[in-house]
Amino acid sequence: MRDVAVVSYVCSTTAREAVHNETEMIVPVLHEVVEKSGIPSKEIGFVCSGSLDYLQGGPFAFVAGLDAVGAWPPVRESHVEMDAAWALYEAWVAIQTGEVDSALIYGFGKSSPGDLHEIMALQLDPYYVLPQWPSMVDMAALQACAFLEANGATEKDLAEVAARSQRNARTNPNAVRKGDLTADEVLKQPVTHRPLRDADIFPITDGSAAVVLAAGDLARKVSKRPAWIRGIEHRIEAHSLGVRDLTHSESTRAAGVAAGVANGKVDIAELHAQFSHEELILAEALGLDASNTAINPSGGALAANAIMSAGLARIGEVAQRITNGDADRGVAHATSGPCLQQNMVVVLEGE
């Protein structure tokens, strides 16, 4: 396997991008991530993106993103209708084949134009579940309820996750929600989707994230401290909530084992927990302990959750901290589907 590293990362998120359309929104992000990479745009070997037509309300929405890339002369390019973490996976594979030595990956989407919680119901079983229209939050709340019931965790434990996220996010320029919140203050909030409170639920976010990957010597040439991908694995579970064990994330556990999470110290972990209980489930699945590992130092998805790029952003946030010397080894997690149905784990390390 070739050594592949993240050599640059840019993220730009806001509660509501009311002025720019999606193409205009991603132009500065793509330009900055390429410039920061130190690799000239026309030398980047492969471009891969992640986006969701249903966020934009029309088919082939991803094609507009290409206008921001500058795809001329023609480029090697692909797209997944998934969080761009999976676009990064496809790009990592392309580099492993030896066909290219570098890749630009980006994810984008606006959650504010539509009713995101309702749109995501279209992921659900088309015959038995969608006709009842449970929203994304209703589904998460069902998992939260099962988790609290089985695990013995309390609403206070959830509140602690929510509060810590907002406090960590104070230093994150991309955070949509940040503050000096305490768990007690969270508990004073009304329960809106039993057992979840507003602070337990990710904020609606518009935005994008981008990463440049480079292999071997190219990475060493352009980055002062590349964040090497030591392991990258993903797994999916069965679809129906009723057949899954909602209190554990088996696919995250399996992906984490395959990616080698336990092979070393985990200084930081960015977990794509869109709801507070998910962070507890994921940390357990990965064998992480908050006393040894800084969990979601960026504030995580509870601080900013631009659908289709938030998973990629978790990878970028870990990579950035390694490159900056704030950490030596970290784990990034990305999720897709209702209630953590599909999960990716990436282990990154600095030399």
Residues 193-212 within binding reach of other proteins (CB under 8 A): 193-196
Specify the pairing of strand 196-197 against strand 77-80: unpaired
Taking the C-alpha atoms of residue 208 and residue 110, their distance in angstroms, rounded to an integer, is 9
Question: Which 266-285 positions form the footprint of other proteins (CB under 8 A)?
Answer: none
Give the one residue of 239, 248, 257, 284 binding other proteins; rule: CB under 8 A: 239
Give the one residue of 118, 184, 245, 351 binding other proteins; rule: CB under 8 A: 118
If the CB atoms of residues 56 and 168 are measured against other proteins, the closer one turns out to be 56
Contacting range for other proteins; rule: CB under 8 A; set: 137-145, 155-163, 218-226, 267-275: 137-145
Question: Which 168-187 positions form the footprint of other proteins (CB under 8 A)?
Answer: none
Question: Which 207-236 positions form the footprint of other proteins (CB under 8 A)?
Answer: 233-236
If the CB atoms of residues 65 and 350 are measured against other proteins, the closer one turns out to be 65
For the chain, report the end-to-end CA distance as a whole number of angstroms.
17
Structure tokens, 85: 């973490």
Q: How far is the CB of 93 from other proteins (least distance, A)?
A: 5
Give the one residue of 32, 35, 36, 145 binding other proteins; rule: CB under 8 A: 145
If the CB atoms of residues 149 and 289 are measured against other proteins, the closer one turns out to be 149
Q: Is 62 in the site for other proteins (CB under 8 A)?
A: yes
Three-state secondary structure call for residue 134: coil
Give the one residue of 7, 129, 181, 227 binding other proteins; rule: CB under 8 A: 129
Taking the C-alpha atoms of residue 323 and residue 49, their distance in angstroms, rounded to an integer, is 23
Specify the pairing of strand 329-336 against strand 342-350: antiparallel
Give the one residue of 10, 39, 105, 142 binding other proteins; rule: CB under 8 A: 142
Is 284:245 a contact under the CB 8 Å cutoff? no
DSSP 163-203: HHHHHHGGG-TT-SS-----HHHHHHSPEEETTEEGGGBPP
If the CB atoms of residues 49 and 293 are measured against other proteins, the closer one turns out to be 49
**Cβ-count burial of 330 within 10 angstroms (0-12 exposed, 13-18 middle, 19+ buried)?**
buried
Q: Is 64 in the site for other proteins (CB under 8 A)?
A: yes
Q: How far is the CB of 208 from other proteins (least distance, A)?
A: 14
Taking the C-alpha atoms of residue 95 and residue 84, their distance in angstroms, rounded to an integer, is 16
**Cβ-count burial of 179 within 10 angstroms (0-12 exposed, 13-18 middle, 19+ buried)?**
middle
Q: How far is the CB of 347 from other proteins (least distance, A)?
A: 16
Taking the C-alpha atoms of residue 164 and residue 276, their distance in angstroms, rounded to an integer, is 10
Kindly determine how many residues on this chain lie close enough to bind other proteins according to the rule CB under 8 A.
Answer: 103
Question: Which 309-338 positions form the footprint of other proteins (CB under 8 A)?
Answer: 336-338
Output Rg (C-alpha) for the chain, integer angstroms: 19
Taking the C-alpha atoms of residue 334 and residue 345, their distance in angstroms, rounded to an integer, is 7
Give the one residue of 3, 31, 198, 290 binding other proteins; rule: CB under 8 A: 31
Contacting range for other proteins; rule: CB under 8 A; set: 49-57, 164-172, 219-227, 323-331: 49-57
If the CB atoms of residues 41 and 182 are measured against other proteins, the closer one turns out to be 41
Q: How far is the CB of 131 from other proteins (least distance, A)?
A: 6
> The dihedral of CA 337, 340, 343, 348: what is its sign?
positive
Taking the C-alpha atoms of residue 42 and residue 262, their distance in angstroms, rounded to an integer, is 38
Q: Is 40 in the site for other proteins (CB under 8 A)?
A: no
Taking the C-alpha atoms of residue 94 and residue 101, their distance in angstroms, rounded to an integer, is 9
Helix (H) or strand (E) run with residue 273 in it: none
| Binding map of other proteins across residues 68-107, x = CB under 8 A, - = no contact | xxxxxxxxxxxxxxx---x--xx--xx-xxxx--------
Specify the pairing of strand 77-80 against strand 46-50: parallel
Q: How far is the CB of 327 from other proteins (least distance, A)?
A: 27
Give the one residue of 8, 13, 102, 123 binding other proteins; rule: CB under 8 A: 123
